[in-house]
Amino acid sequence: MPQYQYVKAEPKKRRVKKLGLLPWSLMAAGSFIILWTIWPIASFVFLQQPLLGVTISPLSQKSSVVLGESLDYTDPNTWFPTKPQKKMVAPVNSYQISIPKLNIVNATVIIAGDDLKKSLIHYGGTGLPGQYGTAVIFGHSTLPQFFNPKDYATIFSTLPTLEIDDEILVTYDGITYRYVIFDMTITKPNDLSPLEQRFDDSYITLITCVPPGTYWQRLNVKAKLKKI
């Protein structure tokens, strides 16, 4: 009589999918993007900001920001709601500004404009270039990696890299004026002192948000008229 022997089959080995370098590559890419975004803010706070003056002024407005409210900072009228800009009657309603160090050439400045995505804005009610007083000019900024001197949404992104004695050229009503930077300060968003006027000479103040890519504070670059 034939004999039969039953042999239990060995269990099948589960196939382990080899993911290889993919997860590590994704983690590395994610870390790079985070550092790429945070580094400009951190470098400004820890390296550049300590070199700039901080202005504490009694001239301030009550904050208009409510929790959950998002302001449109491309509209300069939201920057100082308690001191809105004035519509000005001037011989011209726009002029050009150049900042050689930043490769900004003949950027358009609209007097009492309302859209920082389309131009720089001369805050209505402040002095005019070449005249006694202070011309206050607003510009939009974002992370410096996106800086484009021809894009008004990013045009002032590298403004913090300017230094004392750098020059700013303003062409107003066919005449070019040369201004030289003498001071750079940081103010709180509700500080009205950047709008103050000095009438002993001709000045300009360039204003943008800092640290780059945020709306936390305001950088004020102040320049005085010099002979060309």
Range with the poorest average pLDDT among 32-41, 196-205, 214-223: 32-41
pLDDT higher than threshold 50 for residue 68? no
Reported pTM: 0.78
Other Cβ atoms within 10 Å of 94 Cβ, number = 14
Give Cβ neighbours of residue 222 (< 8 Å, ≥ 6 apart).
181, 182, 183, 184, 185, 203, 204, 205
Predicted confidence band at 92 (pLDDT cuts at 50, 70, 90)?
Answer: confident
pLDDT at 66: 38
Q: Which residues contact 166 (CB under 8 A, 6 or more apart)?
A: 99, 100, 101, 180, 181
Nearest of 97, 86, 89 to residue 129 by alpha carbon? 97
- State the chain's mean pLDDT as an integer: 83
In the chain, % of residues over pLDDT 70: 69
Looking at the predicted structure, is the pLDDT value of residue 64 above 90? no
Burial (CB count <10 Å: 0-12, 13-18, 19+), residue 73:
middle
Class of domain 26-56+72-226: mainly beta
What was the pLDDT predicted at 196? 93
Q: Which tokens in the block code for residue 114?
A: 């309302």
Encode pLDDT of 105-133 as tens digits: 999 999 999 999 999 999 999 999 999 99
Most confidently modeled range among 1-5, 61-65, 143-147, 166-170? 166-170
- pLDDT of the residue at 185: 95
pLDDT for position 65: 43
pLDDT digits (tens, 9 = 90+) for 165-209: 999 999 999 999 999 999 999 999 989 999 999 999 999 999 999
Q: Say what the pLDDT of residue 11 is.
A: 63
Nearest Cα neighbor of 153 from 188, 115, 101, 100 is 115
Banded model confidence at residue 86, pLDDT cuts 50, 70, 90 = confident
